[in-house]
Amino acid sequence: MLSIPNITMPGIPQGQEPLLALALLGVSLLLIFAGRTVAKVVAFVVAGLVGAAFGGTLAIQFLSPGWGLVGGILGFVIGGLLGVALMILGIGLAAGYAGYLLALDFALSPTFALVVGLVAFIVGLVLANKILSLGAAVVGGFLLFNALTLFGLGNTLSVLIAAGITLIGVWYQWEPRKRTSQPTATPVGSQPSASR
């Protein structure tokens, strides 16, 4: 049977395990049901903070100290957008590299493996949001398993519950959202009059 490692926190004081379990439960459910959004927000904020530091420094050095705030804000926005774009590009690169390595493992020629890698890169770019949702949900599922075992559920029951909720979360993230259409106004008094 496959052994799934459990999180053990030796630095957690006695009696704090329920708080850790609740925190793990919250984070796991957030990743399972909104992982793509969480990953994009984290990438935007982290890259934005780096961009803000870079933009603020450049503005202070080349313009004047008064422009530091403007450079920081512009750097945050540009850095955040670049972070999200590079995350999607990274998913494409990872898919391309995986496709290339798999093609090489099947003893195909290096040229054909390169073509397979390029196709996998394009597929990775196209399906980046779905791959990101799946990856975040799987990570959330492992965290949920650990939270459930901290609550005292057995390994088998924890695996079944975590797997079921992870599948529901993947379905929820992949399900296209129905857009509500605005009601159209009908002109008042445009009904045909009855002839006598």
From the CB of residue 18, how many other CB atoms can be counted at a distance below 10 Å?
A: 10
The answer on pLDDT for 23 being more than 70 is yes
Spatial separation of the C-alpha atoms in residues 168 and 152, rounded to whole Å = 23
Amino acid in the structure at residue 73: I
Amino acid in the structure at residue 36: R
Predicted local distance difference test score (pLDDT) of residue 185: 59
Q: Would the pTM of this model clear 0.75, i.e. be above it?
A: no
Give the DSSP H/E element, type plus range, for residue 9. Answer: none
Spatial separation of the C-alpha atoms in residues 99 and 28, rounded to whole Å = 29
The answer on pLDDT for 9 being more than 60 is no
As given in the structure block, the two tokens for residue 185 are: 């106004």
Label residue 136 by pLDDT band (50, 70, 90): confident
Considering only 41-45, 92-96, 150-154, which range has the smallest mean pLDDT? Answer: 150-154
DSSP annotation of 118 reads H
Task: Give me the chain's average pLDDT, please.
Answer: 79
The answer on pLDDT for 6 being more than 50 is no
Predicted local distance difference test score (pLDDT) of residue 180: 55
Predicted local distance difference test score (pLDDT) of residue 16: 62
Spatial separation of the C-alpha atoms in residues 118 and 140, rounded to whole Å = 30
Question: Cα-atom radius of gyration of the chain, to the nearest Å?
Answer: 25
Label residue 12 by pLDDT band (50, 70, 90): low
**pLDDT tens digits, 44-100:** 898 888 888 888 888 888 877 777 788 888 889 998 999 888 888 888 888 888 888
Predicted local distance difference test score (pLDDT) of residue 90: 87
Residue predicted with more confidence, 16 or 135:
135
The answer on pLDDT for 1 being more than 50 is no
Predicted local distance difference test score (pLDDT) of residue 135: 85
68-105 and 128-150 helices, crossing angle to 10°: 90
Q: Please compute the mean of the pLDDT values over residues 134-141 and round it to a whole number.
A: 86
